[in-house]
Amino acid sequence: MPKQTKKPQVTAPAPERRAEILATAAEVFAAHGYNATTVRRIADEAGMLAGSLYYHFDSKESMVDEILSAFLGELWTGYDAVLAAGLGPRETIEALVTESFREIDRHRAAVAIYQKEWRQLATQPRFQYLSDSQTRFEKAWLGTLERGVAAGVFRDGLDVRLTYRFVRDTVWVAASWYRPGGLHSPEEIARQYLSMVLDGIAVRT
Amino acid sequence: MPKQTKKPQVTAPAPERRAEILATAAEVFAAHGYNATTVRRIADEAGMLAGSLYYHFDSKESMVDEILSAFLGELWTGYDAVLAAGLGPRETIEALVTESFREIDRHRAAVAIYQKEWRQLATQPRFQYLSDSQTRFEKAWLGTLERGVAAGVFRDGLDVRLTYRFVRDTVWVAASWYRPGGLHSPEEIARQYLSMVLDGIAVRT
Amino acid sequence: MPKQTKKPQVTAPAPERRAEILATAAEVFAAHGYNATTVRRIADEAGMLAGSLYYHFDSKESMVDEILSAFLGELWTGYDAVLAAGLGPRETIEALVTESFREIDRHRAAVAIYQKEWRQLATQPRFQYLSDSQTRFEKAWLGTLERGVAAGVFRDGLDVRLTYRFVRDTVWVAASWYRPGGLHSPEEIARQYLSMVLDGIAVRT
Amino acid sequence: MPKQTKKPQVTAPAPERRAEILATAAEVFAAHGYNATTVRRIADEAGMLAGSLYYHFDSKESMVDEILSAFLGELWTGYDAVLAAGLGPRETIEALVTESFREIDRHRAAVAIYQKEWRQLATQPRFQYLSDSQTRFEKAWLGTLERGVAAGVFRDGLDVRLTYRFVRDTVWVAASWYRPGGLHSPEEIARQYLSMVLDGIAVRT
DNA sequence: TATGAATGAGCGTTCATTCAT
DNA sequence: TATGAATGAACGCTCATTCAT
C-alpha cells in the first residue's frame, strides 16, 4: 500500500493558517457567544498560545470583523444576482430564501454569530456595515413583498412589515440548529420553508 | 423552645424593592445581553451601589434565574390550560401562538433574555429547567402538529420537526423587536402570524 | 505612661486614602519612571491589590495626570504672584528661582516625573496642559531676561534663548538629586544657584 | 590541520550593518525612551523584522549597552587628554565643558539616552560602568573646582558639590534640545555656557 | 438596607525573545 | 542574513463578589 500523498511539508503554508484560526474562532464564537469567548480559548483550540494569535490578527474584534464581513460579502453577491435577475415577486422570494439557506450551509458559524451579536456590535463605528446590510436587506425583502401584493400574487391586506420580520428571523435563526451534512440539504429546507410561508400548513378547505 | 421559622419584623425582605430591581435587571439584560451586563450597571439603574444588590440577591446568576423561572412559570400556566382544554389541533395551535404573543407582551424582557441566553445558561445544572421546558414545549407542539396531520387538518407529508422549529423560533424571536403599547396588540400579531403559517401568504390559485 | 493618643478608628477616613495612594504612586513613578512602573508595584507599596486601585482611580494615566496637574497648579499660583508683583528683572529671576526650589522641596516626586516624562506625555491630548505650561514658562523667563538686557542689568548680547534653556533645565533637574530635609534648604540652594548664574563662579579680576 | 580561526567568507559579520542598526536604535531610544522603544520599532526603522535583530545583537539591552559604552569610551578619551594636559583650574573647566559639548554634537542620541536612563540602568550589574563613570566624572570636576578655589581663581566659600551638580546637569541636559547642524556650533555653545557659569549673566556693578 | 473599600481571578493585549527554515 | 511564526511572562484593567460598618 503506497504511502499517503501527504506532502513532506513540516509546517503549514502561511496564508492558510489565518483561515484555519478564523474558522476555529468562528466555531467558538458561534458556540459560546462573542463576549463569553476568550482569546485563550480560541488559541487553545487552534493549538497555540493566546499571544500568538496577535501575530495574525490585530484583536479579537478584528477576528469577528473578518468573519462577518466575509460572510456578508458572499451573501450580497448571491442576493444581488437574484435581485438583478428580473424575476417575479414569488420567484424572487423563493430565490432569496434558497440563497439564504445555502449561505447558512456554507457559513453556519458566521450566520449564528451575525444573528446573535449584530445588534451589540453595530453600535461601534467599525461595524457600521452590519446596520447598512440590515437596511439593504429590509429594502430588498419589503420591496419584493410589496411588489407581490400589488401584482396580486400575495394576499391583499398583508402586513408586509410584519411578514418581513417573521420571514427574516425564521430564516436566520435556522443557523442555530442547522448542522451541515445533516438529513436536509439547504435546498430541501428552503423548499419546506417556502411551502409553509407561501401556502401555509393547513389543508385548504 | 422551637426556633422561629420566620422573623418578619427584623429583616423585612421588602418584596417590592426586589421586584423593582428584578424588573430593572431584566431590561438591562435584554438590552445588552447577560454577559455584557455588569452588576454595576444594574445597580446604577436601580439607584444603588453594586455591592448593595447582594443584600437582595445571591448573585447575578440568581437574578436571571428568578427572571426566567418567573416567566416560564406563567408561560406554562397558560400553556397547560390550553393543552388541557381538549381543543382540536388547529385551535390548539392558534391558542398556543396567541398565548405566546401574550407572554411576549407581558414579559418582553424575560422572553428576549430567554431567547438569547438559554443555550448558554442551560449548560449549568442550575438552569436544567430551561432544557426541561424546551423538551415539554417541543412535545406539546410536535404532538399537536402530528395530531393535526393524522386528523387531516394539516398537510399530509408535513415535516413536523422542521415546522416546529420554524414556528418556535419565529414566535420567540418576535420579542427582539416587539414593543408593548405599539401599533399591534399581541392578539393582532398572533392573528397575522397564524394566517401566514396556516394559510400562507400566497394567493390561492 | 499614658497611652498614645491614637484614635480608635479602625479604618482610615475616606478621602485621605486617595492622597496616600497618590503620594505613593508619585514616589514610585519618580524612582522608576512612569512606563517602568507597574500598577501592581504601586498597589504593593500602598498595601493593596492592583485591582483595588481602580476603585479610586480610572487608570494609571489619571494618576500621573492628577499628580502633575496638582503640582503645576501650585507652581503657577506661586509664579503668578511673583510675576504680578512688579519686581525688577533681577529680582524677578531671583524670586522665580527661589519659588522653583520651594516647589521642588514640596513636590519633589512630581517635579522629577514632570522633568522626565513631560515630552512623552504631552503627545496625548489629555496632557496638553503640559505643553501649555511649558509655553507660559518660556514666556515668563524669556520676557524677564529680555527686560533685564534692555534695562542694562543683564549683559548686553546675552543669548537669552540659550540662557533660558540652561537655567530652566538646571533648576528642574535638581529634583533628581534633591532630598527634602537634607543639608540645604530650598532657599539656600536657590541662593547658591543664583549667585552662580548671576555673578558667576570665577573671581572677578 | 589547524582549525581556522575565522571563516570570513561564510558568516561575515558585516560590521557596517551593525553600526547602521545601532545608530537607528540610538535615535529611537533617544526620541522615545529606552523602555518605550520596542525592538519591533527599531527593526521597522532598520528595514527588517524584529526577530532579525537577534542575528546581530543578543538583546535590546546589549544594544543600549553598546551605544552607551561606545559613547563613554570616546568621552573619556577626550577627558583624559584634558586632565593629563596640566592646565590651570579655569582652563581645565573650559576644556572639559568644550569637550562635553563636542561629544553632545557627535553623540547626541547617546548622550540623551545616557542622561535619561543611566539611573535605571545602573541598577543592573552589567551597567556598573555607568556608575563608575559617574564617579570618575565627579572626581575630575570636584577636584578641579577645589583646586580652583584653593588657587583663588574661583570664589571663596563656593559649595563645590552643589556647583558640580548644577554644572554637570546643565551640560548634559543640553542633549535634549541640541540639534547638530543648528545655529550654534558646540564651541559657541560652550563659550556662552562658560561665560554664564564663570562670570554670570548680571552686569557687574 | 445600603455604603465604601477591597479582593482575586481572569481578560485582551504587548513584547522581548527563540528558532526552524 | 533574514523571515515567519510562535512562546511565555507580564501588563493595565474589569468585574462579580465580600464584608465591616
Whole-number pLDDT of residue D13? 53
pLDDT band at residue D16 using 50, 70 and 90 as cut-offs: confident
Q: Is A142 on the interface with B (CB under 8 A)?
A: no
If one counts every other C-beta atom within 10 angstroms of the C-beta of residue D110, the result is 27
Q: How far apart are CA A167 and CA A93, in angstroms?
A: 10
Residues from chain C contacting residue D174 (CB–CB below 8 Å): 165-166, 169
Residues from chain A contacting residue B153 (CB–CB below 8 Å): 202-203
Q: Which residue from A minimizes the CA distance to B159? A: A192
- Architecture per CATH, domain B13-57, reads as Orthogonal Bundle (1.10)
Amino acid, single-letter form, for residue A130: L
Asked if B40 and B83 count as a contact pair (C-beta separation under 8 A), the reply is: no
How far are the Cα atoms of C78, C174, D95, D170 from residue D163, in angstroms, in the given order? 26, 11, 17, 11
Find the distance separating the first CA and the last CA of chain B, reported in whole Å.
82
Q: How far apart are CA C116 and CA A137, in angstroms?
A: 56
Q: How far apart are CA C53 and CA C58, in angstroms?
A: 8
Whole-number pLDDT of residue B127? 97
Could you report the per-residue pLDDT of B82-97, keeping only the tens digit for each? Answer: 999 999 999 999 999 9
Q: Which of A144, A194, A150, A186 is nearest to A164 (CA)?
A: A144
Whole-number pLDDT of residue A4? 43
Could you report the per-residue pLDDT of A46-88, keeping only the tens digit for each? Answer: 999 999 999 999 999 999 999 999 999 999 999 999 999 999 9
Which chains are within 8 Å of B by 3+ CB pairs? A
How high is the mean pLDDT of chain D? 91
Could you report the per-residue pLDDT of C73-120, keeping only the tens digit for each? Answer: 999 999 999 999 999 999 999 999 999 999 999 999 999 999 999 999
B130-134 average pLDDT score: 96
A98-127 average pLDDT score: 95
Q: Is B163 on the interface with A (CB under 8 A)?
A: yes
Please say if the pLDDT value at position B9 is more than 50. no
Q: Which of A165, A142, A196, A198 is nearest to B201 (CA)?
A: A198
User: Which three cell numbers mark B81?
Assistant: 390550560
DSSP character string of B105-156 = HHSHHHHHHHHHHHHHHTTSGGGHHHHHHHHHHHHHHHHHHHHHHHTTSB-T
Q: Is D152 on the interface with C (CB under 8 A)?
A: yes
On strand F, nucleotides with any atom < 7 Å from a protein CB are 1-21
Q: Do C202 and D154 touch (CB under 8 A)?
A: yes
Please say if the pLDDT value at position C187 is more than 70. yes
- Architecture per CATH, domain D60-199, reads as Orthogonal Bundle (1.10)
Angle between helices B39-46 and B15-32 (to 10 degrees): 130
Q: Is A165 on the interface with B (CB under 8 A)?
A: yes
- CA to C1' distance (Å), from C114 to F6: 39
Q: Is B38 on the interface with A (CB under 8 A)?
A: no
Coil, strand or helix at B30: helix
Residue C202 dihedral angles phi and psi, to the nearest 5°: -80, 150
Please say if the pLDDT value at position D11 is more than 90. no
Q: Do B90 and A166 touch (CB under 8 A)?
A: no
Asked if A204 and B203 count as a contact pair (C-beta separation under 8 A), the reply is: no
Q: Which helix (H) or strand (E) holds D84?
A: none
Return the half-sphere exposure (C-beta side, CA atoms, 13 A cut-off) of residue A132: 10
Q: Do A184 and B162 touch (CB under 8 A)?
A: yes
Write down the domain spans for chain B. 13-57, 60-199
Does residue A36 approach strand F to less than 7 Å at its CB? no
- CA to C1' distance (Å), from C107 to F6: 46
Whole-number pLDDT of residue B13? 53
Whole-number pLDDT of residue C14? 60
Radius of gyration of chain B (CA): 20
- Shortest distance, CA B64 to any CA of chain A (angstroms): 16
Q: Which helix (H) or strand (E) holds A198?
A: none
Please say if the pLDDT value at position A2 is more than 50. no
Coil, strand or helix at D202: strand
If one counts every other C-beta atom within 10 angstroms of the C-beta of residue D134, the result is 15
Q: Which residue from D minimizes the CA distance to C119? A: D32
Please say if the pLDDT value at position B14 is more than 90. no
Q: Is B157 on the interface with A (CB under 8 A)?
A: no
- Shortest distance, CA B77 to any CA of chain A (angstroms): 26
Could you report the per-residue pLDDT of B137-157, keeping only the tens digit for each? Answer: 999 999 999 999 999 999 998
Residues from chain A contacting residue B170 (CB–CB below 8 Å): 166, 169-170, 173
User: Which three cell numbers mark D119?
Assistant: 539611573
Which chains are within 8 Å of C by 3+ CB pairs? D
Residue at shortest CA–C1' distance from F14: C51
How far are the Cα atoms of A20, A89, C104, D117, D131 from residue D64, in angstroms, in the given order? 40, 72, 31, 10, 15
Q: How far apart are CA C188 and CA D33, in angstroms?
A: 34
Identify the residue whose cell numbers are 451589540: A120
Amino acid, single-letter form, for residue A52: S
Whole-number pLDDT of residue D89? 97
Return the half-sphere exposure (C-beta side, CA atoms, 13 A cut-off) of residue A63: 28
Burial of D22 (0-12, 13-18, 19+ CB in 10 A): buried
Amino acid, single-letter form, for residue A40: R
Return the half-sphere exposure (C-beta side, CA atoms, 13 A cut-off) of residue A31: 13
Asked if A64 and A121 count as a contact pair (C-beta separation under 8 A), the reply is: yes
- Residue B203 has its nearest CB partner, among A36, A120, A154, at A154
Residue A73 dihedral angles phi and psi, to the nearest 5°: -60, -50
Please say if the pLDDT value at position A102 is more than 50. yes
Does residue C48 approach strand F to less than 7 Å at its CB? no
Query: Which of chain D's residues 43-62 bind strand F, using a 7 Å CB cutoff?
Result: 43, 48-52, 55-56
Physical contact, A and D (3 or more Cβ pairs within 8 A): no
What length does chain D have? 205
Q: How far apart are CA C68 and CA C80, in angstroms?
A: 18
